[in-house]
Amino acid sequence: MTILRQKEYPEGRFTLAFLGYGDESKHTAIELTYNWDTDKYDLGNAFGHIAIEVEDVYKSCEEFRFKGAKITREAGPMKHGGSILAFMEDPDGYKIELLSPKRSD
């Protein structure tokens, strides 16, 4: 995998890096988050969530909610960026982020 894109969010004190095997419009990518003020991760707290890109975050939340999913953060703009996102939980309580398609900066 190679780094496809990376962006720092000074106000939120984190960096996002997206890794993959090719263009994100044709290949899967994984998002890694580096939290600037965290100097140690313990087994069990190093995994936060998985993110899935969807065409329309608002519509996806409604569709998942209708099917019984627990939405834990309603669709809306990212606090320290421009993406639209939401969070839901899988049946075991793990977080799943629903993320709008990337925009050209």
- Active site residue ranges: 97
What's the token pair of residue 81?
Answer: 């960026």
User: H/E element holding 57?
Assistant: helix 57-66
Residue 20: its H or E element: strand 14-20
Task: Name the residue among 31, 37, 76 with its Cα closest to residue 50.
Answer: 31
